[in-house]
């Protein structure tokens, strides 16, 4: 009889734990800054990728957010309404037999991108044991998909249909993946090593993959029924870094777009039109969000150029915003949008004389969320606040204009990222 009592009381805690309320924050969680991304009863806070508030193909059942497996390579994923930059993300999940899913972050919503994985790194979730096709190491659960494999000596993975606990830490470029209490992936984003890995594998034909500093959290429906619960996130503080974007020697850290001439001589970047006199860009290989940037420029011939920010490039087609650098009388320091609205703000006529044509000028640009200020040779040129700019992401780029005979020089390109304590 005692044996049965022991068995009964051994099972009782298990039964009780299965019926405990899920998707709640403890007092300690709240004090520590955690927030729920799923309330346990609705799909509030989520929407279809590149879509409206619809979350078709997802339901809430038994306190779980469930992908029904109606999606595929494209079309079934949902993303958080809010964007996140630095964070710690935790969730519990299980997947059906032979299943495939994942969680992505820093996802960009834009009509240029047909699927979240073209921009957002993915924590892979898959049936390691019985998936019907052979899996490479970079495709298995816990991997930074197609980039960094999970440590097989530390990895503890449950069978399909059983609950796992996962965690992603993204802390100012330092990334960790955890699975069932063990750290299984660790790397630094945006280093030379990271770019070498990105450009040598699956993502070499996805130029914007993994570059965003801020974006949506994405839950993937890859054609398998998948259950999520206890999804919670804690935002981490920004750190600010200062960079010399140009090393004075070569174009390391920059990428050329178009056939125009960009080269380094005597410690300066020189831009000239090629024989076709088309648009050309020299863009940073990584994105920058909020910053205080200064550079010096000298217009040798014409000088129709610009400094683009939060901009996306496809060959020489650019989508973003430009601080104008132009010949006299053409609004150097004003802001122009290439998305279609054109000039957002031009400089007052009396400030045209601040430009020293044919001499070195200093341009300063401060970008803080939706606010932008520019200065030329120490004089403020414009102040602008624009919601669309606030939503933008992308590279910094120097431009050479088409249909002209241009030669312009740049040097001393310095950028300070604005962290939480440097934004005012």
Q: How far apart are CA 294 and CA 412, in angstroms?
A: 8
Q: Above 60 in pLDDT, residue 18?
A: no
Residue from 268, 391, 382 nearest 319 by CA: 391
Q: Specify the CATH class of 242-422 in words.
A: mainly beta
DSSP codes of every residue in 317-329: EEEEEEEEE-STT
Banded pLDDT at 240 (limits 50, 70, 90): confident
Average pLDDT over residues 159-187: 97
What is the per-residue pLDDT for 29?
96
Q: How far apart are CA 36 and CA 29, in angstroms?
A: 10
What is the per-residue pLDDT for 276?
85
What is the per-residue pLDDT for 312?
96
Domain 2-235 falls in which CATH fold? Jelly Rolls (2.60.120)
What is the per-residue pLDDT for 423?
47
pLDDT digits (tens, 9 = 90+) for 145-160: 999 999 999 999 999 9
pLDDT digits (tens, 9 = 90+) for 309-358: 999 999 999 999 999 999 999 999 999 999 889 999 999 999 999 999 99
Residue 365 contacts by C-beta under 8 Å, 6 or more apart in sequence? 291, 292, 293, 294, 307, 309, 323, 372, 373, 374
Lookup: tokens for 188: 């630094």
Q: Sketch the domain layout of the chain as residue ranges.
A: 2-235, 242-422
Residue from 211, 225, 128, 120 nearest 173 by CA: 211
Give yes or no on whether 2-235 and 242-422 have one common fold: yes
Average pLDDT over residues 81-97: 97
- Helix/strand/coil for 374: strand
User: Could you tell me which residue, 276 or 395, shows the higher pLDDT?
Assistant: 395
Q: Above 90 in pLDDT, residue 388?
A: yes
The pTM for the full model equals 0.90
Residue with tokens 């304590």: 421
- 32 to each of 27, 199, 264, how far by Cα in Å? 9, 38, 49
Lookup: tokens for 54: 């619809």
Average pLDDT over residues 181-200: 97
The percentage of residues in the chain with a pLDDT greater than 90, rounded to a whole number, is 87
Q: Above 80 in pLDDT, residue 104?
A: yes
From its phi and psi, is residue 106 left (phi > 0), alpha (psi between -120 and 50) or beta?
Answer: left
Banded pLDDT at 420 (limits 50, 70, 90): low
The long-range contacts involving 270-274, CB below 8 angstroms and separated by at least 24 positions, are 270/407, 270/408, 270/409, 271/305, 271/398, 271/400, 271/406, 271/407, 271/408, 271/409, 271/410, 272/400, 272/406, 272/407, 273/400, 273/404, 273/405, 273/406, 273/407
Lookup: tokens for 422: 């440097």
């Amino acid at each position: 009889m005692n044996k049965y009592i022991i068995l009964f009381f051994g099972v009782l805690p298990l039964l009780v734990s299965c019926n405990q309320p899920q998707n709640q924050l403890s007092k300690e969680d709240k004090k520590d800054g955690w927030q729920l991304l799923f309330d346990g009863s609705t799909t509030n806070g989520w929407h279809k990728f590149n879509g409206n508030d619809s979350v078709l193909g997802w339901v809430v059942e038994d306190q779980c957010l469930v992908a029904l497996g109606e999606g595929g390579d494209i079309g079934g994923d949902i993303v958080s309404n809010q964007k996140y930059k630095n964070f710690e993300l935790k969730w519990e999940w299980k997947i059906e037999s032979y299943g495939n899913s994942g969680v992505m972050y820093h996802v960009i919503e834009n009509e240029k991108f047909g699927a979240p994985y073209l921009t957002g790194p993915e924590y892979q979730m898959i049936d390691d044991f019985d998936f019907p096709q052979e899996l490479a190491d970079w495709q298995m659960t816990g991997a930074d998909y197609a980039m960094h494999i999970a440590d097989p000596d530390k990895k503890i993975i449950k069978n399909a249909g059983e609950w796992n606990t996962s965690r992603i830490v993204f802390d100012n470029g330092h990334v960790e993946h955890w699975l069932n209490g063990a750290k299984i992936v660790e790397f630094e984003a945006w280093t030379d090593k990271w770019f070498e890995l990105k450009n040598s594998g699956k993502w070499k034909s996805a130029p914007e993959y993994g570059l965003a500093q801020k974006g949506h959290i994405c839950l993937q429906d890859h054609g398998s029924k998948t259950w999520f619960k206890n999804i919670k996130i804690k935002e981490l503080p920004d750190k600010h870094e200062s960079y010399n974007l140009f090393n004075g020697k070569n174009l390391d850290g920059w990428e050329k777009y178009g056939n125009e001439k960009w080269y380094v001589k005597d410690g300066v970047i020189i831009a000239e039109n090629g024989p076709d006199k088309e648009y050309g860009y020299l863009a940073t290989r990584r994105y920058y969000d909020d910053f205080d940037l200064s550079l010096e420029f000298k217009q040798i011939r014409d000088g129709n150029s610009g400094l683009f920010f939060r901009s996306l490039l496809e060959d020489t087609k650019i989508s973003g915003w430009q601080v104008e650098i132009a010949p006299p009388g053409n609004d150097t320091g004003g802001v122009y949008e290439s998305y279609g609205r054109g000039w957002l703000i031009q400089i007052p006529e009396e400030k045209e004389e601040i430009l020293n044509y044919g001499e070195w000028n200093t341009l300063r640009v401060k970008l803080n969320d939706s606010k932008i200020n520019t200065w030329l040779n120490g004089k403020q040129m414009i102040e602008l606040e624009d919601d669309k700019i606030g939503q933008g992401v992308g590279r910094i780029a120097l431009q050479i204009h088409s249909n002209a005979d241009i030669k312009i020089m740049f040097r001393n390109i310095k950028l300070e990222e604005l962290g939480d304590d440097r934004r005012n």
